[in-house]
Amino acid sequence: MRIVTLVAIALLAAGAARGDGDPASCSVDYSYVGAFSSTLDHCRRSPPGKNSSDCCSALLTTFGIGLADYLRRSGGFEFADLPTANACLKSFQAELDSHGTGTDFVRDCPFEPPMFVQSPICAGVMNISDWKRVVAPDLDRALERSCGGDLSSALRCQSCTDDVTRVVLELQGLSNSTSVGQQCVYVSCLYAAGVVNKLGPKEPSTAVCVLGLTPPSAGAPGGSRGTDAKLYIGIGVGGSAIALAGALIACIFLFHRRRKKRELVQSSLVGLSRMPNLGLIKFSFEEIKAGTQNFSSKNFIGEGGYGRVYRGVLAKRGNSEVAVKVMKASSKENNAEFLNEVEVINRVRHRNLLYVRGACVHANGPDSQHILVYDYMPNGCLQTYLSSGTLSWQQRRKIAIGIAVGINYLHNEVEPSIIHRDIKPSNILLDEDLNARVADFGLAKISPEGMSHLTTRVAGTPIYMAVEYALYGQCSDKVDVYSFGVLLLELMSGRRALDTSQENPVHYHIVDWAWSLVKAGRLPEIIDEKIRESDPAAIVLQQRFVLVGILCAHLLVAVRPPISQALKLLEDNDTIPPIPDRPPPYIFAGHTLVDGEEVNLFSSSSQTSAP
């Protein structure tokens, strides 16, 4: 410790001696420290010599706000030179002294000034120009969408950290090394907080969500937005499933600081809570039971093919709202299936997918009670909005593209790819901003890349199933494309996939109904009159969405585009390929209820006209 202190003093002296005139000054204003006084309590409770890991991690994370602010104004991820680093450390220490932490940041932790001087970090990134050169534009835009605004909402925070994780994995891949993971987390979080977020890194919600700071004390200076500290606690727990693992990593790094001091600085500066895929939160059954008021009927949300869903409030986690899914048939023989679902959901994170917060396995006699805990979606599922017909054209467009983006992520950005197999309105949840979240991966299975395969189990809702899957069990990514096409037509027409409201013993599927109108030259009639009449200027784009839906839901597998192409057709003005005529429509005569939908086996008909 003494040697390091002497080195630090020598470096400070050397830095001062380099200048011919006045020593370098620091442009970072550290007065924000007072707004996060609760983080400094770590040092008051556990001063160096007792348990310095908590103290030093808290100080480094607080110092990270200043580095993010420096990036925002200068364009560099670290200080330009050693004199500047010396000056900023001295300024930061003066602010700490004013709050009575009793800790010398350089001496007691210790972290030498050269650690904060600019040098190539992850994938060679040193400044914003390097970032723009290295990071893919679509990932950069995703960060801007999800991390750009107020992150005080747990859902917005989760979307932001999900996209930060995607960038981290991308940068780590470009570095061709898994050993730079912490450095890539460091760079990505500083960029999200310092450059992307419009409120800036000193805004409490940004610091808590992106940098992993302890929530600010109630009434502390700088918390001018008046956000309840309990909400930040909810963000800290729900926004990242790996904060606990981060604390363990902090201890490990502090005990091995001689080996990787720089990595320690970088990981601690972002709260050690953004390393991807370090595990789920394991909830106790008692906490789940209390949060749902003993699974009260008042908290009941709905029931799907795999279980009952309840709204819950977790008192110990900032009163954060969750959706609790109690699985059906939770015998011990189903443990493997349950754990597979949890594993799949946990490792797949995207702003248009519903993220699972944690899980619970509870012994119940000879059986096991399996429970999944999700973030609560305040606007429920898409099915409710389709029934009410209250969505505007812009909202429908946003939701359709969001669903396509989510499916595309499952098909093309996950290794190995994932086929959902049950895309339907009740499995599309909507957050507080009506962003689509593809939910329920209980039926999802990992498939070999680029190959179809046969499965002995057909899972899903028949009226959204592709024929080759419903009749023969043949499963490929085109199964999800078909379901998306049906859903897109529902969204555009305002009709149900199988409308049984008419007094007609024969009920036509929505795709056959829509195609018959297209063939008759009556395509505009497919579009819900609520959006067709409210925005006449958008009629061309609305017709495009209808045609993409028909193309995706074509009976012939080879005609259906991959979801990536369907997404491009929705977002761009590319020419829609010619749509071949469909085989005779499939009609539904007798009916049965499955998961709330009236369905029956497919049967062929030579009739070609729709009601």
Q: What is the DSSP letter of 580?
A: P
- Model pLDDT for residues 65-105, shown as the tens digit of each residue: 999 999 999 999 989 899 999 999 999 989 888 887 777 77
- Model pLDDT for residues 463-486, shown as the tens digit of each residue: 888 888 878 788 889 999 999 999
Burial class for 94, CB neighbours closer than 10 Å (0-12, 13-18, 19+): exposed
- Model pLDDT for residues 498-556, shown as the tens digit of each residue: 876 655 545 578 998 999 999 999 999 999 999 988 888 889 999 999 999 999 999 99
* Spatial contact of 401 and 568, defined as CB atoms under 8 Å apart: no
The mean pLDDT of the chain is 74
Domains of the chain by start residue, with CATH: 2-13+35-269 (no CATH), 281-375 (3.30.200.20), 382-604 (1.10.510.10)
Distances (CA, A) of 115 to 7, 10, 80, 124, 269: 13, 15, 12, 16, 12
Q: Has 81 been annotated as catalytic?
A: no
Q: Which distant-in-sequence residues (6+ apart) come within 8 Å of 369 by Cβ?
A: 285, 326, 327, 330, 360, 361, 362, 363
Report the pLDDT value the prediction gives residue 251, as an integer from 0 to 100.
Answer: 30
CA 438 to chain centre: 11
- Model pLDDT for residues 553-572, shown as the tens digit of each residue: 999 999 999 999 999 999 98
Q: Which distant-in-sequence residues (6+ apart) come within 8 Å of 385 by Cβ?
A: 379, 391, 430
- Whole-angstrom distance, CA of residue 56 vs CA of residue 331: 46
- Whole-angstrom distance, CA of residue 93 vs CA of residue 87: 10
Report the pLDDT value the prediction gives residue 600, as an integer from 0 to 100.
Answer: 39
- Model pLDDT for residues 354-366, shown as the tens digit of each residue: 878 788 888 777 7
Number of other CB atoms surrounding residue 410 within 10 Å: 24
More confident residue, 209 or 460: 209
Report the pLDDT value the prediction gives residue 263, as an integer from 0 to 100.
Answer: 46
325 is in an annotated binding site: yes
| pLDDT for 422 beyond 80 | yes
- Whole-angstrom distance, CA of residue 11 vs CA of residue 52: 23
Query: Could you tell me which of 55, 225, 244 has the C-alpha nearest to residue 152?
Result: 225
Question: Which amino acid, 570?
Answer: L
Own/partner long-range contacts of 300-304 (Cβ < 8 Å, ≥24 apart):
302/381, 302/426, 304/426, 304/427, 304/440, 304/595
Q: What is the DSSP string of 538-576?
A: GHHHHHHHHHHHHHHT-SSGGGSPPHHHHHHHHHS-PPP
Report the pLDDT value the prediction gives residue 118, as an integer from 0 to 100.
Answer: 84
| pLDDT for 306 beyond 80 | no
Report the pLDDT value the prediction gives residue 49, as an integer from 0 to 100.
Answer: 52
Mean pLDDT of 429-451: 65
- Whole-angstrom distance, CA of residue 147 vs CA of residue 160: 5
Report the pLDDT value the prediction gives residue 432, as an integer from 0 to 100.
Answer: 83
- Model pLDDT for residues 218-274, shown as the tens digit of each residue: 434 344 333 332 223 233 333 332 332 233 233 323 333 333 444 444 444 444 333
Is it true that the peptide bond before 416 is cis, omega within 30 degrees of 0? yes
Report the pLDDT value the prediction gives residue 224, as an integer from 0 to 100.
Answer: 39
- Whole-angstrom distance, CA of residue 103 vs CA of residue 268: 17
| pLDDT for 318 beyond 90 | no
Query: Could you tell me which of 470, 507, 509 has the C-alpha nearest to residue 493?
Result: 509
Mean pLDDT of 275-286: 64
Helix, strand, coil shares of the chain, percent, nearest 5, are 50, 10, 35
509 Ramachandran zone, left/alpha/beta (phi>0; psi -120 to 50): beta
* Spatial contact of 11 and 110, defined as CB atoms under 8 Å apart: no
Report the pLDDT value the prediction gives residue 104, as an integer from 0 to 100.
Answer: 77
What are 604's strand-pairing partners? 586
- Model pLDDT for residues 117-136, shown as the tens digit of each residue: 888 778 888 999 999 988 88
Number of other CB atoms surrounding residue 132 within 10 Å: 11
373 Ramachandran zone, left/alpha/beta (phi>0; psi -120 to 50): beta
More confident residue, 273 or 411: 411
In the set 54, 108, 422, 480, the catalytic residue is: 422
Residues across the chain = 611
| pLDDT for 149 beyond 60 | yes
Mean pLDDT of 17-42: 70
